[in-house]
């Protein structure tokens, strides 16, 4: 099985947990790196490998407090990989947002309209 | 409200030039609450941590800074009214490896003689004399009813080891604005005082612009991801309003600053980041966020086109355009203006104002302003 990818959060980059053994898939906290492509490269690489042999149900949690537009594009890439996985196995997206953060909810809604995946919006 | 290509933004370049001329780093104009004072301290501490190696200078700048800020909080209500000048002023600059702090507040004209005499006395004393003068004032206690106004000034002079520079600018028939310029460096600046006088005049003229444009704070570059994070931290503490409103401001500030970091142009060495300016204005019912930076002249046409397009679209068209760019991964590698500008327009809900000013054949100065309506 694929080795877990765990990246601890920094001031401007999120915490990432991609662990197929324990079935935890999560991106949380803040994402506003200057070089979003560089930061998300290992994440996308891991997911592309995972896509060849995904678990039966992948529940992916986005629990972001904030992300910049450069990160939005990388999240779009992540969702496209997950969309592909959903063709063979089940995939569900949990999109967490704070009650008072309407922008985070509308970003999630936007993605759910553009990507063919099952989104749940959860107020946290 | 102005939209599109806007000449009223010409003050941005003028302000940028004035800030660059005397290497001013950060200017705050407003009420000095405990929270804001703490933020300015944190911001300066962070700046010192990165720029200054001598822990002795760091400590000295910091302690004088505390004294200066206390001076403003203590006296900001001395001459209370609704004029733009009733806001306090704080400026930090670094020139030739030395730090300068300028503070300002309104005073009643009745107090001017007392303040002048005190500063002149302080400036005439030698180091040892200052020490005993401090002791004398401390024991006497009768000098100021406000609890230590005199002591603060003596202490500043003692810690800086330099003379205090000051100026009074008349505001009304009974009040003036008091500027105090301190130099918290280790050695004195003999013979260089005339220069400083000029620098203080420049600050006063910047202050006039701030008053005229309702500007709350100005931060002069260089901008890189690190300085951006420091500035964001201090803004988070300074913003008032609802959480969702604060968040909106945060989103917009990040995109505008990262715009400078990514697309700005550095005419000289890029080592410290791209030169630029960040301006936060507070008006009745809305905030303005303005940035200014150099851009490569070859890229300015494309940028202008993009801005004009974004301004011309309806809400639905904007949404579609955003979606199209969101999944256009080619843009990433071409370094073209991407999602950021569309996002600014969507998040602020207002058209974006901008202007390009000629600088040289190679680059132009680009000013960008978004308006955020307060709820």
Whether residue B137 is found in the same domain as residue B239? no
User: Does residue A119 register a pLDDT over 80?
Assistant: yes
Can you tell me the mean pLDDT for A64-85? 96
Which residues, in sequence order, are bridge partners of residue B220? Answer: B277
Chain B residues near residue A102 by CB distance under 8 angstroms: 244
Interface test with A, best of B42, B46, B225, B256 (most A CBs within 10 A): B225
Lowest mean per-residue pLDDT among A65-74, B16-25, B335-344: B335-344
Overall number of domains in chain B: 2
Task: Reply yes or no on whether the pLDDT at A43 is more than 90.
Answer: yes
- Output the pLDDT for position B331: 67
CA distance B112 to B345: 48
Q: CATH number, domain at B44?
A: 3.30.565.10
Q: Does B273 touch chain A (CB under 8 A)?
A: no
What number does CATH give the domain A5-123?
3.30.750
Residue B149 has pLDDT above 70, yes or no: no
B257 and B213 fall within a common domain:
no
Residue B145 is assigned to a structural domain of this protein = yes
| Domain at B357, CATH number | 3.30.565
Question: B290 and B323 share a domain?
Answer: yes
pLDDT tens for residues A98-114? 998 888 999 999 999 99
Please tell me whether residues B227 and B274 are part of one structural domain.
Answer: yes
Asked whether residue B196 falls in the same domain as residue B263, the answer is no
**B185 inside domain:** yes
Q: Is pLDDT above 50 for B1?
A: no
B320 CB near a chain A CB, below 8 Å?
no
Q: How sure is the predictor about A116, in pLDDT bands with cuts at 50, 70 and 90? A: very high
pLDDT at B186 over 70: no
Asked if residue B236 and residue B354 are part of one domain, the reply reads yes
Structural domain ending residue among the three candidates B218, B238, B272:
B218
Is residue B278 over pLDDT 70?
A: yes
Q: Is A76 on the interface with B (CB under 8 A)?
A: yes
B86 located within any domain: yes
Q: Nearest-CA residue of chain A relative to B233?
A: A11
Shared-domain flag, residues B39 and B58: yes
Q: Are residues B174 and B298 in the same domain?
A: no
pTM: 0.90
Of the three residues B197, B218, B239, the one that is the final residue of a domain is B218
Determine the pLDDT at residue A13.
97
- The predicted-structure confidence for B227-250, as pLDDT tens digits, reads as follows 888 888 878 767 777 777 888 888
The least confident of A18-32, B58-72, B314-328 is B58-72
CB B174, CB B109: distance < 8 Å: yes
pLDDT for B86: 87
Structural domain contains residue B60:
yes
Residue A36: the pLDDT is: 94
Residues B227 and B206 in one domain: no
According to the model, what pLDDT value does residue B19 have? Answer: 94
Q: Taking 50 as the threshold, does the pLDDT of residue B2 lie above it?
A: no
* Domain assignment of residue B11, yes or no: no
Q: Which structural domain range is residue B107 located in? A: 25-218
**Inside any domain, residue B5:** no
- Of B195, B218, B241, the one marking the end of a domain is B218
Q: Give the model's pLDDT for residue B226.
A: 86
Distance CA B101, CA B220 (A): 15
List chain A residues with CB under 8 Å of B224.
34
The pLDDT of B329-345, averaged and rounded, is: 78
What pLDDT, on a 0 to 100 scale, did the predictor assign at position B77? 76
pLDDT (mean) for B95-118: 88
Strands across the sheet containing A24-31: A5-7, A15-19, A24-31, A57-67, A90-97, A118-123
In a domain, B15, yes or no: no
Q: Which of A12, A72, A100 sits opposite B244 (nearest CB)?
A: A100
Residue B75 confidence (pLDDT): 81
Each as own residue / partner, the long-range contacts of residues A44-53 (CB below 8 Å, 24 or more positions apart, any chain) are A44/A74, A44/A77, A44/A78, A44/A81, A46/A2, A46/A5, A46/A18, A47/A18, A47/A78, A47/A81, A47/A82, A48/A81, A49/A2, A50/A2, A50/A18, A50/A20, A50/A85, A51/A81, A51/A84, A51/A85, A53/A2
Q: How far is A119 from chain B (nearest CA, A)?
A: 18
Give the pLDDT band (50/70/90) at residue B5.
low
**Is residue B148 included in any domain, yes or no?**
yes
Q: Are residues B97 and B190 in the same domain?
A: yes
Q: Where are the domains of chain A?
A: 5-123
């Amino acid at each position: 099985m694929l080795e877990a990818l765990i990246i601890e959060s920094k001031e401007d980059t999120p915490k990432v947990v991609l662990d197929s053994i324990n079935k935890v898939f999560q991106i949380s906290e803040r994402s506003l790196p200057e070089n979003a492509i560089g930061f998300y490269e290992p994440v996308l690489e891991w997911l592309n490998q995972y896509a060849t042999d995904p678990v039966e149900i992948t529940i992916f949690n986005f629990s972001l407090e904030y992300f910049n537009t450069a990160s939005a594009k990388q999240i779009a890439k992540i969702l496209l990989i997950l969309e592909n996985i959903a063709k063979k196995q089940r995939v569900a997206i949990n999109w967490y947002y704070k009650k008072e953060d309407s922008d985070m909810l509308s970003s999630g809604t936007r993605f759910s309209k553009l990507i063919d995946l099952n989104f749940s919006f959860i107020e946290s | 409200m102005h939209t599109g290509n806007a000449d009223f933004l010409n003050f941005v370049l003028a302000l940028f030039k004035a800030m660059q001329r005397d290497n001013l780093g950060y200017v705050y104009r407003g009420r000095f609450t405990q929270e804001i004072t703490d933020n300015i301290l944190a911001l300066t501490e962070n700046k010192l941590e990165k720029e200054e190696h001598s822990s002795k200078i760091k400590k000295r700048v910091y302690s004088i800074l505390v004294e200066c800020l206390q001076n403003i909080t203590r006296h900001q209500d001395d001459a209370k009214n609704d004029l733009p000048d009733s806001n306090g002023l704080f400026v930090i600059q670094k020139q030739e490896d030395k730090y300068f702090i300028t503070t300002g507040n309104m005073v009643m004209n009745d107090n001017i003689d007392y303040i002048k005499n005190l500063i002149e006395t302080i400036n005439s004393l030698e180091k040892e004399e200052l020490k005993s003068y401090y002791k004398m004032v401390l024991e006497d206690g009768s000098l100021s009813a406000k609890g230590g106004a005199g002591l603060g000034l003596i202490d500043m002079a003692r810690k800086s080891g330099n003379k205090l520079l000051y100026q009074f600018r008349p505001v009304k028939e009974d009040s003036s604005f008091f500027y105090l310029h301190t130099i918290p460096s280790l050695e004195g600046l003999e013979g260089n005082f005339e220069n400083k006088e000029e620098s203080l005049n420049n600050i006063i003229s910047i202050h006039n612009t701030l008053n005229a444009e309702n500007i709350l704070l100005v931060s002069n570059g260089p901008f890189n991801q690190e300085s951006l994070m420091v500035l964001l931290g201090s803004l988070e503490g300074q913003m008032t309003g609802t959480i969702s409103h604060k968040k909106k401001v945060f989103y917009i500030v990040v995109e505008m600053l990262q715009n400078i970091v990514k697309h700005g142009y550095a005419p000289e060495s890029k080592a410290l980041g791209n030169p630029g300016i960040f301006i936060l204005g507070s008006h009745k019912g809305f905030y303005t966020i303005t940035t200014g930076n150099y851009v490569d002249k070859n890229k300015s046409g494309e940028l202008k086109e993009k801005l004009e397009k974004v301004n011309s679209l309806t809400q639905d068209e904007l949404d579609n355009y955003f979606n199209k760019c969101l999944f256009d991964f080619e843009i990433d590698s071409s370094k073209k203006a991407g999602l950021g500008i569309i996002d600014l327009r969507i998040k602020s809900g207002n058209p974006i104002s901008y202007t390009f000013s000629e600088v040289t054949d190679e680059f132009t100065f680009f000013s960008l302003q978004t308006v955020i309506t307060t709820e």
